[in-house]
Amino acid sequence: MNEPIRPEIHYRIPGFYTQDQWFFRCGRCVYFYHLLAPLSAGDSGRWGREVVGVSRSQDLVSWEYLGVALGPSDDPEAFDSRNIATGTTLEWNGRFYMLYCAGSLNADNPGGIGLAASDDLVNWRRVSREPVLRPDRRWYAHSPNADAHYCWADPFVFWHEQDRCFHMLITGRMREGPIDERGCVALARSSDLLNWEMQLPLVSPGLFDRMEVPSLWARGGRWYLMFCAHGGIQSPRFRREYPSVPDAAAYVYTADDLRGPYELRGRWWVLPASGCYTARVITETEGIPEFDGRHALMTWQSESEEGRGIVRTGATRPWMVEYLDEGGFVLDRRL
């Protein structure tokens, strides 16, 4: 497999850090949603300044930037008045919807999960001024301050035909337990995207402070749960139990059923020691040159300069995903 040690930045938006990403297939095009923060903010100031940008491609390599899809609310009291962050785009009943996480300028109105709608995948408007989902305090932690989005973020939403409902995965934290082991993938379900019923977490392994940017998909009778956890949010327990596992762009649990149990099988780390962070698998690739039904993976890379920290970030080129019989997957670049 041709898996490079440190992939280069392939696509970025001039003047912006180009960071966490998600994708939506519509017709012949793939729409690429990416967090943008101004380069002028610098490395230490880029978080909490994000908006959602959108680009489009027919081959996952040549991208056309279409502009800012969604920015913070103009109302300083709103739950999403500070920044808009990672989310999911999907189609339902002939319209497009985006569920996103956000931060607030108002410390008394900490961020939550918001919902926006669009007719063209480029221009978006809010469906509700209030969050559609905040943590259920029976199980999940809730931070009553500007950093609340670290406890409740990164919604990943999909329709499950067998259950006849939408499922939402969320970067969450358990209400109880050792402080650096509370990270979990929270779970909720809904029939209409507006009203959500909280569930117990899909996974809560006691290994991470957070399990960021979760995503879930099925392939060949198995379910794959991918998430991200850089060294700063890995618990001492994780390092003790898996001392030989490298820092990676993402990690993958495998299960034989949607409801689990999810296990770390086979090759469960993605792009180790690469400098990349967060990753998404694109499952709808029919008709896309070189892939045509083969799953693709994209991530983002950062570049640093001495004394300035990270000075630019951007998306890599895509890889083909090669699934392993024992679980997990490896990547192959054939472009």
Question: Is a pLDDT exceeding 80 seen at residue 4?
Answer: no
CA–CA gap between residue 251 and residue 326 (Å, rounded):
15
8 located within any domain: no
Q: What's the mean pLDDT in 14-41?
A: 98
Per cent of the chain over pLDDT 70 is: 96
Q: What is the pLDDT of residue 144?
A: 53
**What local confidence, expressed as pLDDT, does residue 2 receive?**
52
Q: Return the pLDDT at 110.
A: 80
Number of domains composing the chain = 1
Read off the pLDDT band of 109 (50, 70, 90).
Answer: confident
Does residue 166 form part of some domain? yes
pLDDT at 197: 98
Give the pLDDT confidence score for residue 50 in this predicted structure: 97
Across the range 117-130, mean pLDDT stands at 97
How confident is the model over 172-189, as pLDDT tens digits?
Answer: 999 999 999 999 999 999
User: Mean pLDDT across the chain, nearest whole number?
Assistant: 94
Residue partners of 188: CB distance under 8 A and separation at least 6: 133, 167, 168, 170, 196, 197, 198, 199
Q: What is the mean pLDDT of residues 202-231?
A: 98
Q: Which phi and psi angles does 112 have, rounded to 5°? A: -155, -160
* Range with the poorest average pLDDT among 39-48, 142-151, 299-308, 309-318: 142-151
How much is the pLDDT for 291?
Answer: 94
Contact present, 139 and 155 (Cβ < 8 Å): no
Which of 142 and 131 is assigned the larger pLDDT? 131
pLDDT for 150 beyond 80: no
User: Range of 327's domain?
Assistant: 16-332
Which CATH number goes with the domain that contains 56?
2.115.10.20
In a domain, 51, yes or no: yes
In a domain, 11, yes or no: no
Q: Cα separation of 95 and 26, whole Å?
A: 12
Task: Give me the DSSP letters along 191-211.
Answer: SSSSS-EEEEEEE--SSBS--
- Name the residue type at position 40: S
Portion of the chain with pLDDT greater than 90, in percent: 90
Question: Has residue 2 been placed in a domain?
Answer: no
Is residue 282 one of the residues assigned to a domain? yes
Q: Specify if 23 maps to a domain.
A: yes
**Assigned domain for 315 exists:** yes
Looking at residues 261-280, what average pLDDT do you find? 96
